[in-house]
Structure 1
Amino acid sequence: MLAPFLIMLREGIEAALITGIIAGYLRQTGRGAWMPVVWIGIFLALAASLFVGAGLQLASGEFPQKAQELFEAAVGAFAAVVLVSMVFWMRRAARSIKRELHDSIDAALATSTGQGSRAQGWALIGMVFFAVAREGLESVFFLLAVFQQSSGPAAPLGALAGIVVAAGVGWAIYAGGVRLNLRQFFRWTGAFILVVAAGLLSSAVRSLHEAGLWNALQERAFDLSGVLPVSSPLGSVLSGILGYDDAPSIGAAAVYAAFLAITLALFLRPLSERRATAPAPAGE
């Protein structure tokens, strides 16, 4: 439950931050009349994300066993790639996202009357749609991968709780009541997400083994089933959060360790001086 909660909290705060910057800038520049257009873009993005998620879930139910394992491996690997791109993109863009969004709004609303107003509306809808849809589709692929590996209501409830809390935090930031240290928030949640992504990637390797599509390195790397079985309460928690496996194959363990070693080293290294002097993000 913790992994879906934290990742949906982060995704939700990213989306809330983006829409809050857009809404705040429109209000500050006397363009508050465009807010209904912003809501249209948000709702279209949410609908598109739900449609993609439902379509993939329905399609996966029609697959035979081997294809199902392949689908789970593909979704897990893609979710890991999406999570990595998410944390590195935010690490790079956090300090300039406010300025870039302001520039995009000015460009979208550059024309004035008549046909121009209609073009402005579509441009603003498109900008909001793609900004929010990016976060929504990232969430869809992560949740598909998690739900395939988790049974029971804990994961969906954790994800829902993360969204609800993110909506509250986003509103508080927009209203000016909360000043969140976004740099530290994204740094530590980013490190946690990389650990989750490593678990998804090692689970994808396990699915490939089970489907008979990758037969190399299937020997056990170690066996902790007598010490900390995955069926135990703690083992279940570690499995759900970190992708823990009490008896992983050599291939899965190697992928997990190599992925973490590389991504954490890159993610935790200091930013360059050029980026360190850039403006801080909103809410910091």
Structure 2
Amino acid sequence: MFVPFLIMLREGIEAALIVGIIASYLKQTGRGQWMPAVWIGVFLAAALSLLVGGALELMSAEFPQKQQELFEGIVGLIAVGILSSMVFWMRKVSRSIKDSLHTSLDHALTGSNHQVTALIAMVFFAVAREGLETVFFLLAVFQQSEGPAAPVGALLGLILAICVGFAIYTGSMRLNLGLFFRWTGLFILLVAAGILANSVQALHEAGVWNSLQTVVFDMSTTLPMDGPLGSVLAGMFGYQDAPTVSVLSVYLAYLVVALVLFLRPPVPAKATQ
């Protein structure tokens, strides 16, 4: 439950932050009459995300076992790519996202003969990016979990994100967004490593990847995946009690590279002449 809760909370706050920045700027510049177009863009983005998620879930339910494993592996790989890009993108633009949105908003409202359409499109693409990222991640998590815990966690995360976003917009709550995105980004990279490892295992079960299948160690008697602690570790970080060489290698390689890139100090911008 915690993993989908945290991801939905982070993605929801990102989306709420984007909408909040746009709404505040419109209000400050005396253009509050454009807010209906903003909500139309948000609604269309949410509808697209739900449509894509529902379609992918229905497609996977019709597949035979091996094709389901292949689908799970592919979705997992896509989710890892999206999660990784999301973390590093936010790390890069977190300090300039406000100015960037203001510039895009001014361009949409003054540089087009169809201001309403331009504003709807701008909000739609900004929010849809967050929504589609969330869809692929949650789909990967839901396929690796059973019961209602994961959907309930995602719903609670969304509700809390909406509340936090509204509180930030009204000024009743101050959140250190840099610190929030840094720690949640670190956690997401750990989760992504587990999804990647499970994707490799799914590709093996689908008959696509059959190399390096020697079991490295077996902890099924001391820390089984179906035990209380093992199930928590499996759900959060992709723990496997008998990992193969390919699974463990991919997990460690991704984690080392991702953490080194994420934890290194940001490169200072070059001074312009």
The equivalent residue for 1:177 is: 172
1:273, CA displacement in angstroms?
2.2
1:14-61 CA-partner distances (Å, limit 9, x unpaired): 000000000000000000000010000000000000001111111111
The equivalent residue for 1:94 is: 94
State the alpha-carbon separation in 2 of the partners of residues 41 and 31 from structure 1.
Answer: 16
Residue of structure 1 aligned with 2:147, choices 122, 146, 152: 152
The equivalent residue for 1:224 is: 219
TM-score, normalization: structure 1? 0.93
1:131-189 CA-partner distances (Å, limit 9, x unpaired): 00000000000011000000001100111111111111100100011111111110010
The equivalent residue for 2:40 is: 40
1:111, CA displacement in angstroms?
5.4
| Alignment map for 1:131-146 (pairs within 5 Å) | 131-146=126-141
1:177-222 CA-partner distances (Å, limit 9, x unpaired): 1111111110010010001100110000000111111110111111
1:264, CA displacement in angstroms?
0.7
- In angstroms, what is the RMSD of aligned CA positions? 1.2
SS in structure 2 of the partner of residue 156 of structure 1 = helix
The equivalent residue for 1:61 is: 61
TM-score, normalization: structure 2? 0.97
Structure 2 spans left out of the alignment, 5+ residues: none
1:258, CA displacement in angstroms?
0.5
State the alpha-carbon separation in 1 of the partners of residues 3 and 263 from structure 2.
Answer: 20
The equivalent residue for 1:166 is: 161
SS in structure 1 of the partner of residue 147 of structure 2 = coil
| Alignment map for 1:1-284 (pairs within 5 Å) | 1-110=1-110, 116=113, 119-274=114-269
State the alpha-carbon separation in 2 of the partners of residues 156 and 92 from structure 1.
Answer: 30
Structure 1 spans left out of the alignment, 5+ residues: 278-284
AA aligned to 1:46 is: A
SS in structure 2 of the partner of residue 274 of structure 1 = coil
| Equivalent residues, number | 271
State the alpha-carbon separation in 1 of the partners of residues 153 and 38 from structure 2.
Answer: 28
Give me the identity figure in percent: 65
